[in-house]
Amino acid sequence: MAIVARDLTLLGTGSVLHKVQSGLLRSATTIILHGIHRSDIMRDSHAPVRKSRKRLVEGKPADCVVPKRPLTAQVKEVLDLLKRHGSKQVRDSMGPRYGVHTDKAFGVPVGTLQTLAKRIGRDHELAAELWKTGWYEARMMAAFIDDPERVTPAQMDRWCRDFDNWGICDTVCFHLFDRTPHAFAKITQWAGRKEEFVKRAAFALLACLALHDRRDDNRPFIDGLALVEDAASDERNFVKKGISWALRLIGNRNSELHCAALDVAKRLSQSEDAAERWIGKDAVRDLNSAATKRRVEGRAAKARKKLQVEK
């Protein structure tokens, strides 16, 4: 979909902010980096609204319907929009507060990015061009608007090679890559790579699938636990945190995987290797928590009830 900056500046009028449950935020701490400030999206909300006489696209609100424009113009308009919504305070806090280090950032809160992306809608071509700009927020936007059905394995490899901080890595995995049919294959491929954020991507993607995937088959996640155990000696901070994240979320899926993940975690916790021991103890603590046990038991009860209904 083509966009006009004038239309996007109307976000403050009647927009509905994206809401995420606090529990999900704690499980996926890699997603929301900054609090959203209403002033960030209301800044241009008093711009005059003119009724559009353009041809309506079926199913789209009038203020989102715009004429087709060259892709280069769309990219420029999005970058201008991001610059306008940027904040020096947010930009300066990204490294010290959140560990996201980048030389190309406007300082736009993630909540604002998600609101802007929702107005743009799915656009595979625009996402590809935004990614090429190298801007942190443009790449975040690309993850939000790209169409998972059109993402190819080659694109996943290209974008993964560009990952240079955990914020981009985890956001792309959480909002885009785990919705593609190539996700499990890429986990296996990337888990053996040397590059820090490529390897992190393997386990961030595994964690996201453990959280989002709706299949009943445990086999892919059992295979994932083997990858976790093989990679657990990597002492790099972002890699071992990604591995721990995957191990814990696999163990939260159901009773069988909880037992399997806890077995892996206990073995790692007894290791002489410091990185393995850290991952194991972190996972054992989470998997043995009362909250995790309630969650797993609740899912087991639902599964039993579903079987009874099917019978």
Average pLDDT value over all residues in the chain: 84
Q: What is the pLDDT of residues 265-298, one digit of tens each?
A: 999 999 999 999 999 999 999 999 999 999 999 9
Q: Which residue has the higher pLDDT, 269 or 11?
A: 269
Residue pair 190/201 in contact by the 8 Å Cβ criterion: yes
DSSP the chain: ----HHHHTTTTSS-------HHHHHHTTTT--S---HHHHHTTTTSPP----SPPPTTS-GGG------HHHHHHHHHHHHHHH--HHHHHHHHHHH----SS-----HHHHHHHHHHH---HHHHHHHHHT--HHHHHHHHHHS-GGG--HHHHHHHHHH--SHHHHHHHHHHTGGGSTTHHHHHHHHTT--SHHHHHHHHHHHHHHHHH------HHHHHHHHHHHHHTT---HHHHHHHHHHHHHHHTT-HHHHHHHHHHHHHHHT-SSHHHHHHHHHHHHHHTSHHHHHHHHHHHHHHHHHHHHH-
Contacts of 248 (CB under 8 A, 6+ apart): 207, 261, 282, 283, 286, 287
The confidence band for 67, taking pLDDT boundaries of 50, 70 and 90, is: low
Q: What is the mean pLDDT of residues 82-100?
A: 96
- Residue 110 has a pLDDT of 96
Model confidence at 17: pLDDT above 50: no
- Residue 8 has a pLDDT of 40
Cα separation values, 108 from 79, 88, 115, 274, Å: 11, 9, 11, 37
Share above pLDDT 70 across residues of the chain, in percent, rounded to a whole number: 78
The confidence band for 305, taking pLDDT boundaries of 50, 70 and 90, is: confident
The confidence band for 217, taking pLDDT boundaries of 50, 70 and 90, is: very high
Q: What is the pLDDT of residues 152-188, one digit of tens each?
A: 999 999 999 999 999 999 999 999 999 999 999 999 9
Cβ burial of 154 (10 Å; 0-12, 13-18, 19+) is: exposed
Model confidence at 76: pLDDT above 90: yes
Model confidence at 26: pLDDT above 70: no
Q: What is the mean pLDDT of residues 35-62?
A: 38
The confidence band for 69, taking pLDDT boundaries of 50, 70 and 90, is: confident
Residue with tokens 């090429």: 132
Separation CA 293–CA 289 (nearest Å):
6
Cα separation values, 257 from 183, 207, 249, Å: 19, 13, 10
Residue 22 tokens read as 């606090």
Residue with tokens 């190819």: 152
Model confidence at 20: pLDDT above 80: no
Residue pair 230/269 in contact by the 8 Å Cβ criterion: no
Residue with tokens 């885009």: 176
Residue pair 166/243 in contact by the 8 Å Cβ criterion: no
Model confidence at 21: pLDDT above 80: no
Model confidence at 62: pLDDT above 70: no
Model confidence at 55: pLDDT above 80: no
Separation CA 175–CA 145 (nearest Å):
9
- Residue 71 has a pLDDT of 95
